[in-house]
Structure 1
Amino acid sequence: MAGPSDTQTRRMRGFERTASLLSTRIRKVGEKRGFAVARVLTHWTEIVGEDIARICRPVDVKYGREGFGATLTVLTSGANAPLLEMQKETIRAKVNACYGYSAIARIRLTQTAPTGFAEGQAEFAPAPKAAPRAPEPAVLDRASELSGEVQDTGLRAALEALGRNVLSRPKP
């Protein structure tokens, strides 16, 4: 005689939470689709904003054995940990908005000193943005010439700025 099937065994155990039944399947699907952990690492500043990105960075995303969703580990210095502790829910909401669903259930903070480690990974300041190059005088003249007939001064200035940006773009 064959043993009870998986669904019969499940029914014998009584009522179970949906999250516990689906957590393994959802984790496998998330892993197959890449769960975009790289997206959190590479677009951290755009996801959480420059103020938060300046004082912390994501380290790891782990799936727990129980529960629904993953745990995002964030590295920060000891002085900034209390500030981030108050903003954990905001950070979680921003990361989940990036994914479009509640991918992150918890955020765990880990602290370290800002300097003094061999790998030197505790520097959180983003790289400075490159200064824009000044357009050539010929580009300025051409943009001014193209928008010269517009009567409204605000619209003319906006069109001239647009013309400068388009004309100074490198040609492919």
Structure 2
Amino acid sequence: MSAKETQTPPDRRMRGFEPAARLLRSRIRAAGEARGFAVSRLLTHWPEVVGQEIAAQCRPVKIGYSKGGFGATLTLLTTGAAAPMLQMQLPQIRDKVNACYGYNAISRIALTQTAPTGFAEGQAQFTPAPKPAPRAPDPDVLAKAKATVADCADGDLRAALEQLAQNVLSRSEERAGRRKADT
């Protein structure tokens, strides 16, 4: 027998990369069960369960079960402005959530209104406003940056240095403008 045939395989199994969902499954289940969510899919796939439009306006917070076990109450967190529109859609939301469970687990939905920031920070994660488009750089800054890197022979390096110079020069001009406004 050769040396290769007598070697035993390593004790641990090499699994490579595991999906993040598999690694976090037990923690998500424990956190969900603490809030009454027997099916964690309701939390992790909320936009798929109720739709993107509704999911952008509300988040599931907890499920409270009655003494009999059936007829649970789902509590949704929403902003005050979105609450009247969601109130009209509660029957459709309840049907979609019950379809996720596979039976009529939810008989009532309660809406809790809150501000997207403040005391419910971390609980209410509503769709943020879109970021404003970046301003066009000042032509003087562009000219100064181009003049600063004009001696560089390598084209890629020159482009990178020019971008860096634009960033530095525009920030220094913003600071100078703020100082003038403060005085």
TM-score (norm 2): 0.46
Which structure exhibits the higher relative contact order, with contacts defined as CA atoms closer than 8 Å and separated by 6 or more residues? 1
TM-score (norm 1): 0.49
Larger Rg: 2
